[in-house]
Chains A and B, each alone.
Chain A
């Protein structure tokens, strides 16, 4: 029995030692698995917004270089973005094509002049016929008017007579009926004569107008022919000018080439062969901003332009215009005073603004977003069997402003002393037990 008791005692001691060992191991594992968090309180802060938008330098104005269509390009002497001065050769046209085009224009001009001459003589003849016709129509009008006036006069007298006779006769007389009938007939005759008069006069007047209009079409046709002739002569003058310059097209302004629509060997088209940006009136910087960025933008503020390719940054630039491109984008145009920039230079537009101060600001890393709602994790001390531990509690919040670093929450979202989790070494969820982050010093 003593042996049995001794074994029981030893067994119990071993059991206690095992429990002691497991106590340390379980605590170590528990502490190792526990996420470590860094916390911070909500602060009163202003939120600064630094907005950067990419853009490029553009010209204040542009001009188009237009040449006759259908001429083959012999050489293109500039490229897009190249700086040019007044008199720089932009491109060269094939002179053979120019000469052929000029000859064709001359032939057209001759034909056009002949047509014009014919039209003018036709106009003269037509004018004479018109005048004759007009005189005849006028005479007819006078005759018709006179005749119809007579008819109406007669009808009117008969009407008056019938009326008087009817008025003079008493209603009981036997001949009253006949007089009334005669009166009605006279009245109808008068109306008929009146209508006939109106129609006849109208018809005669129409004939007079037609006679006047007869020559209008010829006149407009002559005007068209004259205009066509003028255009042909202008085009010929251009061609002759280009031929005199050996087909070279020069720039008329100082600036840079903003676009080139032609290529060697191709023929020119009706549109602009090239577009030139006029550098004499200065440059502007155009940047595209989103709707969210525009919320912080004040046109009265000065902005900073930073260019690539080592060019100087330009501060305090004046905003010239803001235009809405579509629902979500805006184009901001800024004046550029820097001389070293040129058309097409890319850069970044920057401006900063401060909103607030807000009473409740936390680090942006503390705010989580899910399904259009935002929340933060705060820690709460709870009493457990292991003592006072820190547990994670989820708190829904509303963000009223934020930048890349801080988020401003609605006032009252968090208590003054509440600790918000801003960083953790493991993923955390509501209900998790955590401990403060330890730093190696």
Chain B
């Protein structure tokens, strides 16, 4: 009798797990599907791609017929991209430079800003924070024209500075980092002040280490955002030598679909690495906000 009950409990748990897995997979598959399609298609031969994409390439009618497994898999597209397309590397390093400088700038600007909002109580703090949130909610299309005018006046158009400078002063990382700084108990800061620590010491020795999760989360999310940034380079960069990856991929002719897919895979890799490096902090940040809530 006990054995039966025990088996029934185990079976129920297994069934529940399976059901949960199926249900979650059902939601996860559409999310993963595009990535899987890109990965599978990047090793398809040109012949297969031209056959599958013929409704787009030639006739313009009919439906695309897709297959996951390739009949004639090839690494030729990657070879062609990595050893025969030097302009890809130009845009790759441009993207890396832009993103690195933005994140570095945000570390310098956004972290102290978030600390100021979290650690200090000053007049107009609420209104200012509200303003930050409003700015965060404004789409790029709204701020594009004033940004263009300012950058033009500063003679920064058609330089990487036109993309980096506005992003450094983005309000989104301030908001994210503020949440982690806000979680530091005020009593700890008071205690540090009582112990004679200056504000800078409190910020660097207490605030930043305890808020590192939020900072790293902001950096990871910022990397993912700016690595795929498109509107700002399109609006402010005319010189093709300054273009990032996000503008290069649409330039690839659809007839070179293999190369475009290989470039997409390569573009995914840094983001995957960054996410892998910051996944823990992202999860901690999400979990911590949940607990606090």
Contact = CB atoms under 8 A, between A and B. Distances in A.
B8 to A, nearest CB: 37
B11 to A, nearest CB: 33
B248 A385 contact: yes
A244 B280 CA distance: 136
B84 A12 contact: no
B51 interface: no
Interface residues of A, number: 22
A1 B84 CA distance: 38
Interface residues of B, number: 25
Given A15-B269, A15-B270, A23-B93, A385 B277 contact: no
Contacts of A271: none
A441 interface: no
Interface stretch (A2-10, A99-107, A393-401, A411-419): A2-10
Nearest to B96: A16
Interface string B84-110: 111111111100100000000000000
A48 B80 CA distance: 50
Interface string A383-398: 1111100000000000
A111 interface: no
Interface of A: 1, 4-5, 8-9, 11-12, 15-16, 19, 22-23, 25-27, 29-30, 383-387
Nearest to A27: B86
B128 interface: no
A25 B83 contact: yes
A5 to B, nearest CB: 6
Among B84, B85, B86, residue most surrounded by chain A Cβ atoms (within 10 Å): B86
B273 A19 contact: no
Contacts of A15: 269-270, 273
Among A9, A19, A385, residue most surrounded by chain B Cβ atoms (within 10 Å): A385
Nearest to B240: A385
A214 to B, nearest CB: 105
A387 B273 CA distance: 30
Nearest to B80: A26
Contacts of B89: 19, 22-23, 26-27
Contacts of A25: 82-83
Nearest to B266: A19
A29 B83 contact: yes
Contacts of A387: 241
B270 A12 contact: yes
A15 B277 CA distance: 14
B276 interface: yes
28 contacts: A1-B280, A4-B280, A8-B277, A9-B277, A11-B276, A12-B270, A12-B273, A12-B274, A12-B277, A15-B273, A16-B96, A19-B92, A22-B83, A23-B89, A23-B93, A25-B82, A26-B82, A26-B85, A27-B89, A29-B83, A30-B86, A383-B239, A383-B241, A385-B90, A385-B91, A385-B248, A386-B90, A387-B241
Nearest to B94: A385
A27 B277 CA distance: 31
A122 B45 CA distance: 115
A15 B88 CA distance: 15
B226 interface: no
B243 A385 contact: yes
A384 B87 contact: yes
Contacts of A22: 82-83, 89
Contacts of B243: 385
Given A22-B89, A30-B86, A385-B91, A4 B241 contact: no
A5 B241 contact: no
A383 B240 contact: yes
A161 to B, nearest CB: 121
A25 B79 CA distance: 11
Nearest to B82: A22
A385 B90 CA distance: 7
Nearest to A384: B240
Contacts of B93: 23
Among A4, A5, A22, A25, residue most surrounded by chain B Cβ atoms (within 10 Å): A22
A29 B84 contact: yes
Contacts of B96: 16
A140 B257 CA distance: 125
Contacts of B86: 23, 26-27, 30, 386
B280 A5 contact: yes
Contacts of A23: 86, 89, 92-93
A25 B86 CA distance: 9
A5 B83 contact: no
A15 to B, nearest CB: 6
A27 B86 CA distance: 5
Contacts of B277: 5, 8-9, 12
Contacts of A16: 96
Contacts of B239: 383
Contacts of A8: 273, 276-277
A156 to B, nearest CB: 115
Contacts of A27: 86, 89
Contacts of A384: 87, 240-241
B241 A385 contact: yes
A9 to B, nearest CB: 6
A6 to B, nearest CB: 9
A1 B92 CA distance: 29
A26 B241 contact: no
Given A5-B276, A30-B86, 19 more contacts: A4-B276, A5-B280, A12-B270, A12-B273, A12-B277, A22-B82, A22-B89, A23-B86, A23-B89, A25-B83, A26-B82, A26-B85, A26-B88, A26-B89, A27-B86, A27-B89, A385-B91, A385-B248, A386-B87
Contact of A26 (B84, B274, B280): B84
A9 B220 CA distance: 13
A387 B87 CA distance: 9
Contacts of B280: 1, 4-5
A8 B271 CA distance: 11
Nearest to B247: A385
A29 B81 CA distance: 12
A359 to B, nearest CB: 37
A298 to B, nearest CB: 58
Contacts of B85: 26
B147 to A, nearest CB: 24
Contacts of B241: 383-387
Contacts of A386: 86-87, 90, 241
